[in-house]
Structure 1
């Protein structure tokens, strides 16, 4: 398959480059307004790179009908750009593989469903926790129990410096806010396992910390998310860790700290095998973060 990538200079792009390379596919074109993209030499040194989007678009169009025509566009841009870049992919004859959060608003999902029909192409989202072995086992366990009143506690601490607030990530209009930016994949995982949202409540909310309660069909969840390193537990600080994640289900700690290195490759394998997660799969988590943003 032939790929193009938008946002190749971003933090998450190397995971996409590695997945495309390791699965034996071609990266034909790449775009980023930032030219610090030397990472490409490790994976696709012959890929055509552009810092001007109009030239990138013209090149993608020029490949139509050739053996390098773009089959998939991987999207690794800031959150607020996702919807427009997905539309670019579909309208130029390619399927889209987009990082989380897929979009910022549920209305964007409805809009993209119309684009899929119009251009006969598909949108796939990167929901990597759904392919994590430990989480797959957890879902199987919860499904088999058929219990409807689980109690879940989620704590996620991922330390970020002052730069975070000055970047697009600190701008609610561009990132969607803290929960959208760092929490959406956890909310997706929880809705995938415990069912659709019934109630969303916010307890505390600031630019660096958010907490609340989430009622799903099979669980009541207390959650907190922060980028403030002062919330790290002593054991994490002592071992030099800057990230801490904890999920307790009915009082029992659920361990899934390992096994993250191959997840993007698994996502790509599923997408290319016709089993990837699309627009409808993303809706529940987008509804949750949208409700958090509006409270």
Structure 2
């Protein structure tokens, strides 16, 4: 049984990590968040220590590591994006391996810094790249590998997840902390595209605002038009009023259904990590590079065939 600590226990994604820890037969012994709305711990790991100051988290973790029977093995990082780097480094220097939410960090330069700390401490960093475990995505990857066509696939990626007024008031609405919409909600989709279609060859941004973004990515095996939004007004008429989220990937006009099957992917990710097959720094590098470039690009009008269909409603 491995012992876990968790940073960011009051966040949206933290319960999935807590359940993954429990469902893989391990135990959460320490949790930290500046907010104390963490009652979910009672149903998952009621005996876990909980603190609201990082100094107390660090002191407690250092104290219990003196005894191999109580020392923490892994730290799960679920804190706001801009804190990932410092929390990962702190956990490595505690002598723990780290499992971190996406985006791992905002830039390739920080990835290089993390690699140095890995080398210094002898500990490992793993990134949750959960779509690599989704069966529909794995099926598509196998299909692309089998077909070996010389023509690039025509792909449309659409992700609309309605968010209320709270979003812009939270750290997620502050680009200094979330690194913007394309990074915060798009990074694991960009990782998925690389996972299936190979190296990125072209990266263009057609539209960006606080609530939505769109662009074009060309990979070795695909031409991808993408659209991301947190504005419920962008939902297609077929789902508006019935569902708050719309996920769609079409490949050469065929819809790839992957709306379901998300809830257990963190547990699968944890199982793979614990079995020595997790995704590390170099696995995350491609998508970090992609979103880092997107943040720096100027808006460019789409060339013929490169604009997402939803762009028409924005112009």
SS in 2 for 1:4: strand
- For the pair 1:56 / 2:57, whether they are aligned, the reply is yes
TM-score between both structures, scaled by the size of structure 2: 0.92
- For the pair 1:191 / 2:197, whether they are aligned, the reply is no
Aligned residue number for residue 108 of structure 1? 110
Aligned residue number for residue 153 of structure 2? 150
* Distance in 2 separating the partners of 1:292 and 1:210: 10
* Distance in 1 separating the partners of 2:95 and 2:149: 45
Q: Which runs of 5+ in 1 are unaligned?
A: none
SS in 2 for 1:235: coil
* Distance in 2 separating the partners of 1:76 and 1:183: 17
* Distance in 1 separating the partners of 2:251 and 2:233: 25
The residue correspondences of 1:195-214 to structure 2 (distance < 5 A) are 195-214=198-217
Aligned residue number for residue 160 of structure 1? 163
TM-score between both structures, scaled by the size of structure 1: 0.98
The residue correspondences of 1:112-131 to structure 2 (distance < 5 A) are 112-131=114-133
- For the pair 1:225 / 2:228, whether they are aligned, the reply is yes
Aligned residue number for residue 71 of structure 2? 69
Aligned residue number for residue 22 of structure 1? 23
**1:218 positional shift:** 1.1
SS in 2 for 1:102: coil
**1:242 positional shift:** 0.5
Q: Pairwise CA RMSD of aligned residues?
A: 0.9
Q: Which runs of 4+ in 1 moved over 4 A?
A: none
**1:147 positional shift:** 2.5
Deviation readout 1:196-249 (Å, 9 max, x if unpaired): 2111101111111110100111111000001111111111015x1010011011
Q: Which runs of 5+ in 2 are unaligned?
A: 298-315
Aligned residue number for residue 245 of structure 2? 243
* Distance in 1 separating the partners of 2:166 and 2:178: 14
**1:260 positional shift:** 1.3
Across the two proteins, how many residue pairs are aligned to each other? 294
**1:281 positional shift:** 0.6
Deviation readout 1:231-285 (Å, 9 max, x if unpaired): 11111015x1010011011111111111112111000000000000000011111
* Distance in 2 separating the partners of 1:168 and 1:260: 24
Aligned residue number for residue 94 of structure 1? 96
